[in-house]
Structure 1
Amino acid sequence: MPFQHDHGGAETDDGSSPEERILGALDEDQRAVASTLAGPLCVLAGAGTGKTRAITHRIAYGVQTGVYNPQRLLAVTFTARAAAEMRSRLRDLGTGAVQARTFHAAALRQLQFFWPQAVGGPLPGLLDHKANVIAEAARRLRLSTDRAAIRDLAAELEWAKVSMLTPANYLEGSEGRGEPGGFDRTTVSRLFQAYEDLKTDRNVIDFEDVLLITVGILQEDPKVAATVRDQYRHFVVDEYQDVSPLQQRLLDLWLGGRDELCVVGDASQTIYSFTGATSAHLLQFTARYPGAQVVKLVRDYRSTPEVVQLANSLLAGRRSAGPRADAGWSAPLELIAQRPHGPAPSYTECSDDEAEAADVARRIKALLDDGVKASEIAVLFRTNGQSEAYEQALASAGIGYQLRGGERFFARREVRDALLQLRAAARSAGSEPVGQVVRDVLATLGYTPEAPQSGGALRERWESLAALVSLADELVATRGDDPAHFSLAEFVAELQERSVAQHAPAVQGVTLASLHSAKGLEWDAVFLVGLSEGLMPISFADTPEAVDEERRLLYVGITRAREHLALSWSTSRTPGGRANRKPSRFLDGLRPNSSASVSGGAAAPRQRRRSTAPAQCRVCGTMLSSGAERKTGRCSNCPPTYDEQTFEALRQWRLEEAQKASMPAFVVFTDATLVAIAEARPASLQDLGRLAGVGPAKLERYGEAVLEILGTDAAS
């Protein structure tokens, strides 16, 4: 091919060779990645080890030496934000023509191009959200659902489709999956079919269909497959531990039997198994490609030795949990810290959630007083429902915060106004440095060099504009302050691309985020909160494999911290409540005055399989016909076996929850579910989660409150 040349390395414009310019700043292992230009290559990269730096320099080095044609290399990652970050780094290295996309974005682009010739007619519309269609499918089947059930069902259908299951084989392929949304798997299978029928009727496809249809076309049309394989000769896949079976199938079809593939991943950061992701492809890479080269990145440049030691110890503390779980657990990479020593991680036990949030706010205030930027502090929790206490505590302390997953940065009015003003200014921009022009333009919208003393909306507006100024300064620092090299128009183009990818710049506020949404991010100071049994690991992690994933999730949280790391938990949910919570089993042997448990926390109770036999009344033995009867476990003719006081306490609580959320009471729990709870009187979150009508989402949101009501009632 004409773009393949020798590896000699031509001189660049500044007189240095590509080796000096691109490889010179890399460590030995990163350099091994960047200089290995022929596949197959497997990079096992621990947290904070510079994997993105290594693979972007590999691409740049391959382009500069002529081994890669930038138009014929495809870099794939898993989030639009990560893809945008990779494109930005590649531009900084002078290789902006390389495509860096998510699997979905790459597949959609191919589908839009090949659909007319492979299928004919216009491409169906793309369904942004499944909720409305799933709700309509449920109504057609006369199923009673609420928002939480719809969310659970949407997640289940997404899992099924990326696992390449259809309504016809869903029952066989979902054995042991439990009851999403409180529905048995036969009902879910029927709903799956109804959902697919509705999409066909409306001529729409969902995001999983984009991958499925692209796979189908590549499998069935040799001409299309040959065109794609001619277009893309080299592939790089980041976060390879997160690929689903469907994504792997698409990658195989892109490759077409070739092995020009570089994959990068860390099995210890596999935290999305519930979506169909699996680290099996990463772990089996060398078996599939016997000649593959393997490079390990273990030098951690992000965190202090104290944080790194805790992360290593957490993974090393895992004990055998049986052959099946052990087969899915990969020996972790042992990170080697490269930063100077810092403060030891702290461990704090609080009396209740409110006290824990207040303590965290107090400690954040101390960090701010010591000069740590608010944007470099994060509070990470297991479930989104935990954020409210920290929002209130920070607001009471006068500390600004941003809720990751809340209003999107580029959707804010002041940011949209700024983009319009900057775009207009770019048409007539002269030779003034970009950073100064951005400041001048944003000054008309309220930006000042110093932050306003007041809080509220005025402060939030200023922080948004200040984030744009900081981004301009950051890009000028990497691309130069000469408008001939980096112009205002290029800055506007960067903002537009980031807007599409939702790749927001840092805002001056403490970040509140779930552990899952924190993946790929890092801060100077991290507070890991709510580390008690039932939340970490989460109560519905009821298999050894699920508990192992919870351990990996905590590992991801720990490795987000550069210097300051605080771990905390509370013994009660509410002030004055029963102190029945225990610290997470994962902290055994790590926190002071604790010892490692024998099981290491991995031997969780096995998931109880539900009987597929017809349900019978537990009182008289007759067959149960309605969903309400199956929930309570008895027929309508038999008297209830619950305590009236308990049932009324649950009803009153449900009414208050519904009023707070401005929604009908049945959306919280139906009467039948309340009866089932009152009769079963579950003693733990695991027991509560086994009741029909509860489901993971409701267990997460309401579980502890329900148990507290049952406990208070029992004590009275």
Structure 2
Amino acid sequence: MTEEIFVPAGIAPSAEQLAVQLARVPYGLVEANAGAAKTTTLALRIAQALQRGAAPERILALTYTDTAVLALREALLRIGLASSTVARLRILSFDDFSAQRLAEIEGGGVTRCRTPEQIKPYVLRAIERAQTLPEERYPDELLIPGGGEGMVEGLLNRFAVLKGTLRLVLDPPEQRMSPALADELGHDYASLRVYSAFEFIRRGGHPDHPAFRAAGDATYDLARLIVDDELAGSEPHPLDLGLNLVVLDEMHDTNRAMFTVLACLLASNRRVAFLGVGDRDQVIHSAAGADADFMGAAFERGIGRAARFPLTASFRFGAELADAAGRLAAKPYRSGAAWPTEIQVLPFADAATMSRHVARSLQELRATERAAKAGPGASIAVLIRQAHQSIPLEDQLLRAGVHYRTAGFTSYLQRREVLLVRGLHAYAQNDFSGFDAAPTRLAVLQALMLFAGSYIDSQELRLADRVEEQERVMREVAADPAAMPLFIQNHILRNADAEVRRRLLDAIALLRSDDAQAFARRFVAVLQPHQLAARVLVCREDIDQLEQNLAQLVGLIEGEGTLEALFRVMHEQATRQRQMEGRNAVVLASIEAAKGLEFDHVILPGLNQGDFAVGGHSTENRNLLYVGMTRARRHLSLLFDAQRPSRYLFESGLLAPLDGAPAPGL
């Protein structure tokens, strides 16, 4: 009997795609190059399962990121599935799926912590607990300077590795922890002791119902229940969902905790088929234990033998880009696209010139599209390595009237440190009229309160929940611009730490003088943003970015000449930004946020030695450029400082070393 084949709308699947779509194997793994339509291929496999009679509710699609969830939903609609059918499919990130399963087991009610700042107090409490346990045998190993403020980011990174790899769960030490044993495990003793204390606090003293979870914790907690055989006696098994098909996108980002859940899920659904798709050269989450080997030998050891399918041809871009991507990733690559992809490699004298070029080019392109009246314009993404690089770009895009939206970071006008400076200037001038929206005024108060380390001093609030009450009071103040100066004076400045208050007052005096040259020369030294940020932020990268953001902000003064003009323009830009339409907007994004997406035009500025390869050369840095380049369909522009091009431009063959000289540094 001939099988009825699902015929997608708008595309003709390649032979490689059709082999995946029609596969009848228990386990299948697809090794896909970027641009090889892996998400579309997953959608075809799902559509074929529906064609064979599977109910939508019996199909589960898992991804690593929320962005990939959206991309898969869009791919299913694009190939012709009804929106009502797509809505019935289970399409979830791995952590959200795990959280749903745990809610069924635990009954819900677990708080989700979504930022490092929300977790920081628990880490500091864990440090204190580890140091004060009476049975501690090596107290000298736990002498942590400064109460542990400077260790929080490093500890969270180590926690992520321990959880992602399940190191202490799968291979628990047979003896009590000691500095020597910690060294054998590849960690320092203090980190492991604080980790133990942190997990005790996170679980709230209750083994079955944690007090809170952060990113990755749901997957870790579910994996731990599986490893400890805690789910074996459950009827029905919490992972027995009667599934016919499980598909996994971004499988290259799988870690041990995710793989443990996946193996149990497949074992618990006896009639299920599985298809995983990934690209080993897109691993950019190794800090959480991601390992492409789970698409390789580890899969066969842990789950079973899998049929392997290639997706080698990129249908996203032409032969020139396929060749460059293949050189960078050191693997075979070919193009199956029906169009060429134009690549421009453009040198510039400095970041300001580069930003003006980007804005002018986008302005001209949109003007041409409007003149042609050809309907929706081309999709465009400007992808950057670090968030501070967006400031000169956003400034120029706003001046040029180019509509844009950000992804992977907050627009610079709404970043906490920029709101801090804008708020200090408004206070110095006793004029908050430039903040024409109450939510923005509230954000200014929140930024000032955060960096000042202040609190609301009120007799009525001492018995109330301080955090909720502070938010309520600040909302009331933000509703009335005239109330802002007095609140800042009485509650923020007065209650700040003495040293912080001195810095803030010095910065206010500098801003009150309206001396543009003094501002450009002295502001960073007066405010000391690194020390200010280190008191309240967790991640070293966030602290570094804050410093870079303020340096870029100070640099904008050169384009205006006066402080009054600079802040007036920023207020106007903020208003203009709120009025921007989403339609036809340029996407200004981090490379990570663009993973899994594609655009007609991609612009990658700042491919400079010392800027792109953060922390030095690594596979992950190389993979980030690979991911960024391969988002392009028809046009790719790579912009760099003429004096210091990144080595990756040479490795991809897009720049040739002069006179046979070796490629420069990073």
TM tier relative to shorter chain? 0.5 to 0.7
Contact 1:134 1:195 in 2 (8 A): no
Contact 1:515 1:553 in 2 (8 A): yes
Contact 1:63 1:69 in 2 (8 A): yes
Q: Give the superposition deviation at 1:582.
A: 4.7
Aligned amino acid, residue 223 of structure 2: V
Q: Give the superposition deviation at 1:557.
A: 0.8
The residue that corresponds to 1:391 in the other structure is: 394
Partners of 1:176 and 1:309 lie apart in 2 by 44
- Describe the superposition over 1:85-104 as per-residue Cα deviations: whole angstroms up to 9, x where unpaired: 43455465244333121111
**1:102-117 pair list within 5 angstroms:** 102-115=93-106
2:302 equivalent to 1:294: no
2:220 equivalent to 1:217: no
Partners of 1:215 and 1:307 lie apart in 2 by 40
Contact 1:379 1:513 in 2 (8 A): yes
- Describe the superposition over 1:340-385 as per-residue Cα deviations: whole angstroms up to 9, x where unpaired: 2243x22222222223222333333333344397772222222222
Q: Give the superposition deviation at 1:195.
A: 2.3
Measured at CA, do residues 595 and 252 of structure 1 come closer, stay the same or move farther in structure 2, by a change above 3 Å? farther
2:616 equivalent to 1:548: no
Match of 1:567 among 638, 641, 645: 638
- Describe the superposition over 1:684-711 as per-residue Cα deviations: whole angstroms up to 9, x where unpaired: x9xxxxxxxxxxxxxxxxxxxxxxxxxx
Contact 2:223 2:258 in 1 (8 A): no
- Describe the superposition over 1:268-317 as per-residue Cα deviations: whole angstroms up to 9, x where unpaired: 2112112221111113267547752222112322223332222222223x
Partners of 2:311 and 2:329 lie apart in 1 by 17
Match of 2:264 among 250, 253, 261: 253
Report the aligned-residue RMSD. Answer: 4.0
Q: Give the superposition deviation at 1:197.
A: 3.2
Partners of 1:108 and 1:297 lie apart in 2 by 32
2:91 equivalent to 1:100: yes
2:247 equivalent to 1:236: yes
Contact 1:8 1:65 in 2 (8 A): no
Question: Secondary structure in 2 aligned to 1:520?
Answer: coil
Q: Give the superposition deviation at 1:233.
A: 4.4
Measured at CA, do residues 371 and 360 of structure 1 come closer, stay the same or move farther in structure 2, by a change above 3 Å? same
Measured at CA, do residues 600 and 407 of structure 1 come closer, stay the same or move farther in structure 2, by a change above 3 Å? closer
Measured at CA, do residues 77 and 582 of structure 1 come closer, stay the same or move farther in structure 2, by a change above 3 Å? closer
The residue that corresponds to 1:276 in the other structure is: 289
The residue that corresponds to 1:648 in the other structure is: none
Partners of 1:589 and 1:103 lie apart in 2 by 33
Q: Give the superposition deviation at 1:518.
A: 1.6
Unaligned stretches of 5+ residues in structure 2: 132-143, 371-375, 415-435, 440-571
Measured at CA, do residues 93 and 589 of structure 1 come closer, stay the same or move farther in structure 2, by a change above 3 Å? closer
The residue that corresponds to 1:590 in the other structure is: 653
Partners of 1:381 and 1:176 lie apart in 2 by 39
Segment drifting more, 123-132 vs 294-303 = 123-132
Question: Secondary structure in 2 aligned to 1:568?
Answer: strand
Measured at CA, do residues 196 and 90 of structure 1 come closer, stay the same or move farther in structure 2, by a change above 3 Å? same
Q: Give the superposition deviation at 1:406.
A: 4.3
The residue that corresponds to 2:202 in the other structure is: 199
Q: Give the superposition deviation at 1:164.
A: 1.4
- Describe the superposition over 1:498-528 as per-residue Cα deviations: whole angstroms up to 9, x where unpaired: xxxxxxxxx4333222222221122222221
Unaligned stretches of 5+ residues in structure 1: 1-6, 10-16, 117-121, 179-183, 317-331, 417-454, 468-506, 542-546, 572-578, 605-684, 686-716
Question: Secondary structure in 2 aligned to 1:248?
Answer: helix
- Describe the superposition over 1:434-470 as per-residue Cα deviations: whole angstroms up to 9, x where unpaired: xxxxxxxxxxxxxxxxxxxxx8567545544xx4xxx
Partners of 2:112 and 2:597 lie apart in 1 by 30
Question: Secondary structure in 1 aligned to 2:333?
Answer: coil
**1:694-709 pair list within 5 angstroms:** none
Match of 1:161 among 136, 160, 163: 163
Contact 2:21 2:41 in 1 (8 A): yes
Question: Secondary structure in 2 aligned to 1:346?
Answer: strand
Question: Secondary structure in 1 aligned to 2:60?
Answer: strand
2:53 equivalent to 1:62: no
Q: Give the superposition deviation at 1:401.
A: 2.6
More helix by share: 2
> Which structure ranks higher in relative contact order (CA pairs < 8 Å, sequence separation ≥ 6)?
2
The residue that corresponds to 2:37 in the other structure is: 50
Q: Give the superposition deviation at 1:394.
A: 2.3
The residue that corresponds to 2:369 in the other structure is: 371
Match of 1:514 among 577, 586, 590: 590
Contact 1:42 1:285 in 2 (8 A): no
Question: Secondary structure in 1 aligned to 2:634?
Answer: strand
Q: Give the superposition deviation at 1:586.
A: 4.1
Segment drifting more, 376-385 vs 130-139 = 130-139
Q: Give the superposition deviation at 1:587.
A: 2.2
- Describe the superposition over 1:664-701 as per-residue Cα deviations: whole angstroms up to 9, x where unpaired: xxxxxxxxxxxxxxxxxxxxx9xxxxxxxxxxxxxxxx
The residue that corresponds to 1:307 in the other structure is: 321
Partners of 1:93 and 1:312 lie apart in 2 by 33
Aligned amino acid, residue 565 of structure 1: L
- Describe the superposition over 1:614-652 as per-residue Cα deviations: whole angstroms up to 9, x where unpaired: xxxxxxxxxxxxxxxxxxxxxxxxxxxxxxxxxxxxxxx
Partners of 1:457 and 1:237 lie apart in 2 by 40
Q: Give the superposition deviation at 1:245.
A: 0.8
Measured at CA, do residues 177 and 514 of structure 1 come closer, stay the same or move farther in structure 2, by a change above 3 Å? farther
Contact 2:363 2:401 in 1 (8 A): no
Match of 1:524 among 600, 612, 621: 600
Match of 2:357 among 342, 356, 359: 359
Partners of 1:145 and 1:364 lie apart in 2 by 49
Q: Give the superposition deviation at 1:53.
A: 1.8
Contact 1:40 1:291 in 2 (8 A): yes
Question: Secondary structure in 1 aligned to 2:392?
Answer: helix
Measured at CA, do residues 238 and 595 of structure 1 come closer, stay the same or move farther in structure 2, by a change above 3 Å? farther
Measured at CA, do residues 173 and 32 of structure 1 come closer, stay the same or move farther in structure 2, by a change above 3 Å? farther
Partners of 1:23 and 1:34 lie apart in 2 by 16
Partners of 1:172 and 1:521 lie apart in 2 by 46
Q: Give the superposition deviation at 1:595.
A: 6.3
The residue that corresponds to 1:400 in the other structure is: 403
Q: Give the superposition deviation at 1:29.
A: 1.3
Aligned amino acid, residue 102 of structure 1: S
Q: Give the superposition deviation at 1:156.
A: 3.3
**Number of residue equivalences:** 468
Measured at CA, do residues 528 and 87 of structure 1 come closer, stay the same or move farther in structure 2, by a change above 3 Å? closer
The residue that corresponds to 2:117 in the other structure is: 131
Measured at CA, do residues 200 and 42 of structure 1 come closer, stay the same or move farther in structure 2, by a change above 3 Å? closer
Partners of 1:212 and 1:348 lie apart in 2 by 45
Partners of 1:158 and 1:266 lie apart in 2 by 22
Partners of 2:291 and 2:157 lie apart in 1 by 16
Measured at CA, do residues 273 and 460 of structure 1 come closer, stay the same or move farther in structure 2, by a change above 3 Å? same
Segment drifting more, 584-593 vs 29-38 = 584-593
Partners of 1:304 and 1:104 lie apart in 2 by 35
2:345 equivalent to 1:347: yes
2:385 equivalent to 1:382: yes
Measured at CA, do residues 130 and 536 of structure 1 come closer, stay the same or move farther in structure 2, by a change above 3 Å? closer
2:15 equivalent to 1:33: no
Measured at CA, do residues 198 and 222 of structure 1 come closer, stay the same or move farther in structure 2, by a change above 3 Å? closer
Question: Secondary structure in 1 aligned to 2:92?
Answer: strand
Q: What TM-score, normalized to structure 2?
A: 0.61
Question: Secondary structure in 2 aligned to 1:379?
Answer: strand
Partners of 2:22 and 2:146 lie apart in 1 by 58
The residue that corresponds to 2:276 in the other structure is: 263
Q: What TM-score, normalized to structure 1?
A: 0.58
Contact 1:381 1:528 in 2 (8 A): yes
**1:573-612 pair list within 5 angstroms:** 581-588=644-651, 590-594=653-657
Partners of 1:108 and 1:284 lie apart in 2 by 28
Q: Give the superposition deviation at 1:72.
A: 2.7
Contact 2:622 2:648 in 1 (8 A): no
Give aligned-pair identity as a percent.
24
